[in-house]
């Protein structure tokens, strides 16, 4: 029984599912690992590091997949790629269930058990397997760096012989995992940071990072579901939030937006009229761009300029820091594998709570239809 690590095939994906240190731990535990030649190359992990970790290097994707009983990936395979899997294999990956309708029938046809990492429930014992959190941490950090590099200003206060420079004002809208990391990063770079989130628990977290919490009147007690995620706001609530944020945005130099509602398009929180009232030269980095964006006019994968404000439609931020993003992803995956690995079966055997959440196909059938809606 072998765990396989094919090279990612999605455009511009630089990450790899397992890094050499996790491979070494698997091999030490008696699990054989096969890695496609060059799989870790764009994440700065050469074949030699995998070979030193005890993996076998396969020369092609076809050879890797033909030898893999468990396939580990960052992004979901294409239908053609899935057709090269061993019948009955287990796939562990981010699968974006709602966007996987083309590949799910292939998994079912070939009796592939597809496990969707983004469905790992946010419960304490699964925290170490939570790839959404680890990859959001990278995204929050990188968003600040991208914003800072596009700004015509310093982030920190400077005292120079030529006079003083005031610190930039940064605002983080949506202070979940990515948002909190963005706050911490902007603070470290010396900006004056404020933030807003609809979930009441966030206020204290924001303040503990040294940022101020704005528009506290727009927090709603029922904003959080039992999974820890935000619920969609009503039209009236959204308007109220918008009105409270409009004035605040006028003073900002850098805005990072991260607001998401699982399974729904991202809420539009910054309108064109609000952008028009912002300071010329200011920058908005929209981390929700791939799910529709929090900012009106944002285009995923592009930087557009509106009213003198740059709006960055951030796309796969984690992939832009492939070495550390892969290292974290890989540790999440290792923790998942080691929690559930069954030595006799040579495959993960999941408990009911996590299994029911993450399994998309089993025994030749698409299960968990609820998640696909």
Interacting residues toward ligand NAD by CB under 6 A: 122-124, 126-127, 130, 132-133, 136, 173-179, 196-199, 202, 228-230, 233, 241, 258-262, 267, 269
Query: Pick the catalytic residue: 96, 127, 207, 251?
Result: 127
Query: Pick the catalytic residue: 229, 279, 291, 324?
Result: 229
User: In whole angstroms, what separates CA 192 from the centre of its chain?
Assistant: 26
Residue in the shown chain whose Cβ atom is closest to ligand NAD: 176
For residue 362, list its beta bridge partners: 365
Minimum CB separation of residue 242 from ligand NAD in Å reads 9
Minimum CB separation of residue 123 from ligand NAD in Å reads 6
Examine the residue annotation and report whether 127 is marked as an active-site residue of this protein. Answer: yes
Examine the residue annotation and report whether 141 is marked as an active-site residue of this protein. Answer: no
Give the nearer residue to ligand NAD in terms of CB position, either 60 or 128: 128
Give the nearer residue to ligand NAD in terms of CB position, either 71 or 173: 173
DSSP state letter for 102: T
Examine the residue annotation and report whether 344 is marked as an active-site residue of this protein. Answer: no
The per-residue DSSP string of 119-183 comes to: GS---GGGGGG-HHHHHHHHHHHHHHHHHHHH-SS-SS-EEETTEEEPPPEEEEES-SHHHHHHH
Query: Pick the catalytic residue: 12, 59, 78, 122?
Result: 122
Using CA atoms in the order 271, 277, 283, 285, what is the torsion angle rounded to 10 degrees?
-20
Examine the residue annotation and report whether 229 is marked as an active-site residue of this protein. Answer: yes
Determine contact, residues 263/225, Cβ cutoff 8 Å: no
Furthest-apart CA pair in the chain: how many Å? 72
Minimum CB separation of residue 24 from ligand NAD in Å reads 26
Other Cβ atoms within 10 Å of 225 Cβ, number: 12
Phi/psi of residue 85, each to 5°? Answer: -70, 155
Minimum CB separation of residue 173 from ligand NAD in Å reads 6
Query: Pick the catalytic residue: 75, 133, 233, 330?
Result: 133
Minimum CB separation of residue 177 from ligand NAD in Å reads 4
Give the nearer residue to ligand NAD in terms of CB position, either 241 or 326: 241
Give the nearer residue to ligand NAD in terms of CB position, either 233 or 326: 233
For residue 256, list its beta bridge partners: 172, 285
Catalytic residue positions?
122, 127, 130, 133, 229
């Amino acid at each position: 029984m072998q765990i396989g690590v094919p090279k990612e095939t999605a455009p511009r994906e630089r990450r790899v599912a397992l890094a050499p240190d996790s491979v070494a731990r698997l091999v030490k535990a008696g699990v054989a690992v096969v890695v496609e030649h060059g799989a870790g190359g764009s994440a700065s992990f050469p074949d030699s590091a995998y070979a030193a970790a005890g993996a076998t290097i396969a020369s092609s994707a076809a050879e890797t997949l033909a030898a893999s009983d468990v396939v580990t990936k960052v992004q979901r395979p294409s239908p053609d790629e899935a057709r090269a899997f061993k019948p009955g294999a287990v796939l562990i990956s981010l699968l974006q269930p709602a966007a996987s309708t083309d590949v799910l029938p292939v998994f079912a046809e070939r009796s592939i058990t597809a496990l969707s990492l983004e469905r790992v429930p946010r419960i304490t014992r699964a925290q170490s397997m939570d790839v959404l959190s680890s990859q959001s941490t990278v995204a929050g950090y990188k968003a600040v760096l991208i914003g800072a590099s596009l700004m015509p200003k310093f982030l920190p206060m400077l005292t120079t012989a030529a006079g003083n420079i005031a610190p930039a004002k940064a605002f983080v809208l949506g202070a979940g995992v990515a948002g909190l990391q963005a706050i911490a990063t902007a603070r470290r770079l010396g900006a004056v940071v404020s933030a807003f989130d609809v979930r009441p628990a966030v206020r204290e977290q924001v303040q503990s990072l040294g940022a101020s919490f704005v528009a506290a009147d727009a927090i709603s007690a029922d904003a959080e579901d039992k999974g820890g995620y935000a619920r969609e706001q009503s039209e009236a609530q959204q308007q109220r939030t918008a009105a409270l944020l409009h004035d605040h945005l006028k003073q900002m130099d850098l805005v990072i937006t991260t607001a998401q509602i699982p399974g729904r398009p991202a809420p539009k929180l910054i309108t064109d009229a609000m952008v028009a009232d912002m300071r010329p030269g200011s920058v908005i980095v929209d981390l929700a761009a791939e799910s529709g964006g929090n900012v009106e006019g944002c285009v995923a994968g592009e930087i557009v300029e509106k009213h003198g404000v740059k709006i960055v439609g951030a796309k796969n931020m984690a992939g832009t820091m492939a070495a550390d993003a892969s290292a974290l992803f890989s540790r999440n995956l290792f923790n998942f594998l080691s929690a559930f690995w069954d030595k006799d079966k040579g495959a993960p055997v999941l408990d009911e709570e996590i299994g029911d959440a993450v399994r998309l196909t089993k025994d030749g059938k698409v299960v968990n239809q609820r998640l696909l809606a």
